[in-house]
Copies of this chain bind each other. A is one copy, B any other.
Amino acid sequence: MNPKKKQLLDAAYQLFVEKGYQSTSIQDILEHSNVSKGTFYNYFSSKNELFIDVFNTVFEKMRTARKEILVGRDVSDYETFIQQGNCYLELMQKYKLYTLFEEAIASNEKELKTFMENNRLLEIEWTFERLRDLFGQTKEPYLLDLAVIYTGMLQYAMYFFRQSEPNTQPERVVRYVFNRLTHLVEDVSRTEEQLIPPRFLSVWLDRPQDEVVIRKDLFEKTSAHMKRLITLSSISEESKEAHEEVLDFIYEELLERKKPKIHLLRRALETMDEDPVFAGQEIMATYKAMVDEIARIRTKTS
């Protein structure tokens, strides 16, 4: 990397951590990095962009450190998860990032806010996936809720714990909160209370493709169901083949094409729907609804 750019990133990082975002002026950064204003704006178009550049790599480092703890270990081991949480929080503490991140996420700078919100979501996603490792697929419907409230508990407990014992290892807090969590997993899977369905994760992270993936299993089953219906029906072999072709076409087009030809697909579906074999069949209505939904999601993507 260009030395001037590196000087800027280093000085900016230090000053942001020390004084916060607002309170660090570009002038400050220039003085601490021996770089002139002209050069600054040669590398970054704004203070926001600089911030994002600095903390993108910081986030990256923290995630890598956390990921390394997992190698060669059982993903379902509680202790590993606790160590990962502890590691992340220790880095937050070591680099005094709490207040800075709070400032950035609450900032009125739209770019910054979006950047930080996205990182917060990535944290929730990571936690969600780790909880699935720990507690198993069967608990999945409740795990987004739990990931969210786990993060909330951890944040707040850390905040107030720091007030009562500054410079302490966060491990006690992580353990405390994790112990609570294990009880809540049992609790919610017994009472079957759900607040936010896990599919919202993909919605929030703006990954509509994932929504399709979530629906894929169900769609495959419904598709197979339709085929069975056709095979068992009393229509001509030719019609059967025709219908099956349509089903395969829709499946491929809808799930595997990059740019599905939605209109064509709908037309094919309509012609199939006209066959009296499907009249009054509930499965046909379900199938059509699923095609509609996935089509809607996929058009939104492109």
Q: Which residues of A contact B (CB under 8 A)?
A: 20-23, 99, 102-103, 105-108, 124, 145, 148-149, 151-157, 160-161, 163-164, 172-173, 176-177, 179-180, 183-184, 187-188, 191, 193, 195-196, 200, 203-204
Q: List 28 A-B contacts (CB under 8 A).
A: A22-B108, A23-B108, A99-B106, A103-B106, A105-B106, A145-B157, A145-B176, A148-B160, A149-B152, A149-B156, A149-B180, A152-B152, A152-B153, A152-B155, A153-B153, A157-B195, A160-B200, A160-B204, A161-B195, A163-B200, A172-B195, A173-B195, A176-B193, A179-B191, A180-B184, A180-B187, A183-B183, A184-B184
Q: How far is the CA of A184 from the CA of B148 in the complex (A)?
A: 17
Q: Smallest Cβ distance from A195 to chain B, in angstroms?
A: 5
Q: How far is the CA of A285 from the CA of B203 in the complex (A)?
A: 64
Give the 8 A-B CB pairs with smallest separation, nearest first: A152-B156, A106-B106, A152-B152, A102-B106, A149-B153, A103-B106, A22-B108, A164-B200
Q: How far is the CA of A260 from the CA of B256 in the complex (A)?
A: 82
Q: How far is the CA of A22 from the CA of B113 in the complex (A)?
A: 14
The answer to whether A103 and B99 touch across the interface, beta carbons within 8 angstroms, is no
The answer to whether B145 and A196 touch across the interface, beta carbons within 8 angstroms, is no
Chain B residues near A187 (CB, 8 Å)?
Answer: 179-180, 183
A199, closest chain B residue (CB): B164
Q: How far is the CA of A107 from the CA of B163 in the complex (A)?
A: 18
Chain B residues near A203 (CB, 8 Å)?
Answer: 164
Chain B residues near A172 (CB, 8 Å)?
Answer: 195
A23, closest chain B residue (CB): B108
Q: Smallest Cβ distance from A86 to chain B, in angstroms?
A: 15
Q: How far is the CA of A156 from the CA of B149 in the complex (A)?
A: 6
Q: Smallest Cβ distance from A16 to chain B, in angstroms?
A: 11
Q: Smallest Cβ distance from A159 to chain B, in angstroms?
A: 8
Tell whether A160 pairs with B22 under 8 Å between CB atoms, given A154-B152, A180-B149, A184-B183: no
Chain B residues near A193 (CB, 8 Å)?
Answer: 176, 179
Chain B residues near A145 (CB, 8 Å)?
Answer: 157, 176
A151, closest chain B residue (CB): B156
